[in-house]
Amino acid sequence: MTQSVYLADLTWTQAKDLLQSSRKLVLILPLGAVEAHGPHGPLEADTVISLGMCERAARALADDPAVGALLLPPITYGVTRYGAAFPGTIGIRQETLAELILDVCRAAIENGFSRIAVVNNHFEPEQVETIRRVVADVGAAPGVKTAYLDLTRRANAERLGGEFSSGSCHAGRYETSLVLAERPELIDTVVMSRLQPLFVDMPQAIVAGRTDFLAMGMSDAYCGSPSEATAGEGEERFATLAQMLVDLIRDLAEE
């Protein structure tokens, strides 16, 4: 029987065996949010994307004799003030997110897991800043190695296609394609096909002080071109995301 890539699916004895094996084991902590993603996409889109790339990366390492990876249960709530005007959006405070990440990582370390990779697909500035800070703080402890796969960094963003790197990509072609590849039943394709392209430079709008989707002109909680999304493109993006994560995991596994 193939072993699950989820830590929580294992028995405690299986977890003990993994800790005592010669393989360098990295835990992956996926993060997301519960936030409006257009009239066509699910509130959990960011979590779906994080889990999809993490699962693919862990499976890619399943037969590697030197390095392995397991997924922690995801933190599915995030800092979501930009989508707060839309029903169903449920956000938490920065302090709450910081404490959640910190507590989970510390507990994992105390349990013997000293290498942790954090993956996030919800890019609200306060969310990203919080993750960077906490991951750095946790990783400063002796004998501990942590890393955050920050997709907002230019070198990473440029690998994910024109829409993503343009900054006009909330529930657009990029994210909708990924959800179509992973959980197609969650996309209303009829509504998706009717949505007109909408360019909004979200990073620039944030710099200009616009602190919610409505102020950015995103009256339906999307920007980009969702009608152009395909599952095929989503699989291509997942392949890139998973490889980026595999590379990060291998770096963490080095002595």
The per-residue pLDDT for range 55-96, each reduced to its tens digit, is 999 999 999 999 999 999 999 999 999 999 999 999 999 999
The answer to whether residue 244 sits within a structural domain is yes
| Conformation bin of residue 42: beta by default, left when phi > 0, alpha when psi is -120 to 50 | beta
CB 53 within 8 A of CB 117: no
Has residue 155 been placed in a domain?
A: yes
Among 73, 46, 71, 47, which Cα is nearest to 59's? 71
The answer to whether residues 98 and 131 touch, using CB atoms and an 8 Å cutoff, is no
Amino acid of residue 232? G
The verdict on residue 1 lying in a domain is no
First and final CA of the chain: distance in angstroms?
A: 31
Region 114-128: mean pLDDT is 97
Contact 138, 102 (CB under 8 A): yes
- Element housing 68 (H / E): strand 67-71
Phi, psi of 150 (to 5 degrees): -85, 100
Range of the domain at 244: 7-160+237-253
Q: Taking Cα atoms as reference points, which of 164, 156, 160 lies closest to residue 203?
A: 164
Asked whether residue 181 is assigned to any structural domain, the reply reads no
Residue 74's pLDDT is what? 98
Nearest to 40 by CA among 250, 246, 230, 227: 227
Could you tell me which residues come within 8 angstroms of residue 161 by beta carbon, excluding any fewer than 6 positions away?
Answer: 173, 174, 237
Share of the chain above pLDDT 70, in %: 99
Report pLDDT for 1: 58
Share above pLDDT 90 across residues of the chain, in percent, rounded to a whole number: 98
Q: Distance (Å, rounded) from C-alpha 108 to C-alpha 29?
A: 10
Task: Kindly report the CATH number assigned to the domain that includes residue 249.
Answer: 3.40.50.10310
Average pLDDT over residues 227-241: 98
- Give exposure, 30-46, as e/b (b: 16+ Cβ within 10 Å): bbbbbbbbbbbbbbbbb
Domain membership of residue 111 (yes or no) is yes
Q: Could you report the per-residue pLDDT of 205-231, keeping only the tens digit for each?
A: 999 999 899 999 999 999 999 999 999
Question: Is residue 184 a part of any domain in this protein?
Answer: no
Q: Is the pLDDT of residue 241 over 80?
A: yes
Burial class of 10 by CB neighbour count within 10 A (0 to 12, 13 to 18, 19+): middle
Amino acid letter at 35?
A: E
Q: Is residue 29, in this structure, part of any structural domain at all?
A: yes
The H or E element that residue 190 is part of is: helix 189-194
For residue 227, is it within any domain? no
Count of domains for the chain: 1
Residue 2 has pLDDT above 90, yes or no: no
Mean pLDDT across 33-60: 98
- How do residues 150-196 score in pLDDT, each as one tens digit? 999 999 999 999 999 999 999 999 999 999 999 999 999 999 999 99
Q: Note the pTM of the prediction, 2 decimals.
A: 0.97
